[in-house]
Amino acid sequence: MQALVVAVHPGAPTMVDAVVAGVRLHAEWVGPLVPPGSFSDVELDIDDPLVWGDRIALPDGASSLRDGPLLRGTVEAYEEPVLTLRITEGLVMVEFEPGPVDVPPGTAVVVVAEHPRLFPTGI
């Protein structure tokens, strides 16, 4: 997926402000840096497990989620404990703790993207 790097914050770890799928994220950047204002193909990783009703919900339940940047996607596959989401043109695989709602392929969801990491793919 495409990320627009808005700002780079050097350090350990290197952090960036980036726009991914129309959402501004403060994310760890893992790989060769690109200058601010550049687009980069990236893989997105959300390291923390998603708990239903806390960090993931159906779109009409987004207001009940914890604060943070919200990414909107569609379920591609679910093979416990991994949920594969399509967010824009990219796929994101996250650890998922099942909740009270069935999430078959095609289900629209919103995800709080806390502590995201971006890996430039060099493509």
3-state secondary structure (DSSP) of residue 119: strand
The pLDDT value recorded for residue 47 is 83
pLDDT of residue 48: 84
Residue 79, pLDDT score: 87
Looking at residue 123, its pLDDT comes to 60
Who's near 55: CB < 8 A, 6+ residues apart? Answer: 48, 65, 66, 68, 111, 112, 114
Is the omega angle on the peptide bond into residue 13 within 30 degrees of 0, that is, cis?
yes
User: Of 97, 99, 72, which Cα lies nearest the Cα of 83?
Assistant: 97
> Mean pLDDT of residues grouped by 10 in the chain (123 residues)?
96 96 96 95 91 93 93 93 92 86 91 94 77
Query: Going by C-beta distance under 8 Å and a sequence separation of 6 or more, which residues neighbour residue 84?
Result: 75, 76, 77, 78, 91, 92, 93
